[in-house]
A and B are shown apart, each in its own frame.
Chain A
Amino acid sequence: MKECIIKTEKLTKIYRLPAEEIRAVRDIDLEIYQGDFIAIMGPSGSGKTTLLDSLGCLTTISSGKLIVSGKDVSRAKESELVSVRRKFISFVFQDFLLIPSLTVLENVLLPLYFARLPQDRDKIVDILKKVGLGHRINHLPKQISGGEKQRVAIARALAISPKLLLADEPTGNLDTKYAQEIFDIFKKLNQEGLTIVVTTHNPNLGSQAKRIVYIQDGRIVSKAAPSC
């Protein structure tokens, strides 16, 4: 039986503004298993990104439960969430967020430094080769294309050997060709056993995931998932 990496029960995130309360996501029940490849889809403002941030322990939830690798982190403090992120979860962002003054290799080494893990250069070079950037390791981000930047961001996410890779609109800034390249890499990584959750607007790309979770007005409106 596959390991349940993340389980949510009635997960709700409310943003409290001076004038109003925004229920960005509400009553989310979701299970993510080891080896899953889930696409979260929905219109703009539906709560896709907030759900991804909550699953990735980037933000505290307002109510409900969030269990990561068997540990309830629903009420965890930021310092505990940091530790969960370092061990299990990695991120890929829409606009890459590479550090311009660091080379491709140094950017990918960064999470290892933060996680206090040995900075195994050979391992990182292997990861970069896997995403097709073996020849770019000493380049600066400004010297490579948008598609290559996103591949660096994927390599950076893989550096700590995470259990779960969360990608927020990873192809939003890329043209169709580069977007498909990124999804090809995701599919390859998923076949190797990595669990991936990705938000996307693009139905062609979303349909390449194993499961699609549709979200609207902060609620899941359709999903296909086995129970834990």
Chain B
Amino acid sequence: MFAYIIRRLVYGIVTLFALSLVVFMLIQFSGGTPLDRLKLNPRMQPVIAQLTEQWGLDKPWYEQYFIWLKNFVWPIDVPAEEGLTVYFGKLGVRSWVAIAAFFAAVGYAIATFFVKIEANWWRTYRAFSILVVGVIAFWIIKSRVVFALNWGESFRGDGAVWDNIFGAAGNTFRLGLTALAIALLIGIPLGVYQAIRQYSFFDQLGTMVSFITFSTPIFIIGVMLQLILAYQLERWTGVKVFYVAGMTSSGYAELGRGLFGLPSLAQLGDVVQHLTLPAISIAAISMAGYSRFQRASMLEVMHSDYLRTAKAKGLPRRTIIIKHALRNAMIPIVTLVSLDIATMIGGAIITESIFGWPGVGRLYIGAINAVDYPTIMAVVLAIGAGVVVMNIIADILYGVLDPRVRYD
């Protein structure tokens, strides 16, 4: 399996390369530059000239691409801050600890592959050790404790792209995770129950609702939720139950402090009020897909031979469904979710625009409009990398759940 993961990573990197090249060329060939708006004002000429020189906008496109690429992937020196060091030569204790931890994790993960135990718990443990490697790698990159990547300065003067993205990514992650949780926690039981009570009114109603939800664009759902659950609700009850803009209200800081620097209960409540509607928007469509898929998967399992065997053994119905059927029916969902991640990200982009959620999506739209090269490239690649990683995680998970899977 290890070789398989390495192979997938390599494919992923190639994909990201191609992606970056395509996007870069597209923007170049459109002739749009970040300075278009400035050009409208004739007095900005000297500023335009300076920025053009600074950002290298007068160079040919392949040279611009190469400059960007070099900056993107080649680690640079970072001004030494508390705990932060620069690479190769001036590494401090923290960095060495991080490096050691990384290689130890890698060694351990590889070692687990030489122990051949065919059991559920061992495969879980092995998968876990691989994930630990991934987590350590991610932390090393993000905390810049061994080296730092420079993703440039935003052309809009917003600051370093790196900081912008990680700040926004955290918010998008919160939104996306909540949406995924909602979609899974509601969608899967719904699908299972539909399969158990096939042909019942509930089943047919559920199918109809799934179809309709699945055919509705996500922005319609978002807009409708805004209008009905936020504006109309407020008009009827006089209370602002759900918010439609941003992640926090303007009076957020005054809502108190919690323990150990964590947000207070009132602050959490505020975020939840802002989070609910956008999360539901993203979850709705995925939920429809999951429930339909789970229903089909469950039905297939319920007509399988081994379930007939279980019944012939005299097992009670509940045991059959929970222990035998469900365990098999849940396996394909993993693949579905991994395929769905890309769609959810798209949904997040749209939803963040509608609800003003300060996440990667909103950042991206703003960057597109302003032709902010560094931000656009960084966001596209971050999303692409995220999808690659999620797919690999899904494959690992699949290997844990299904003992028949072999990776060659």
A and B held together in a complex: no
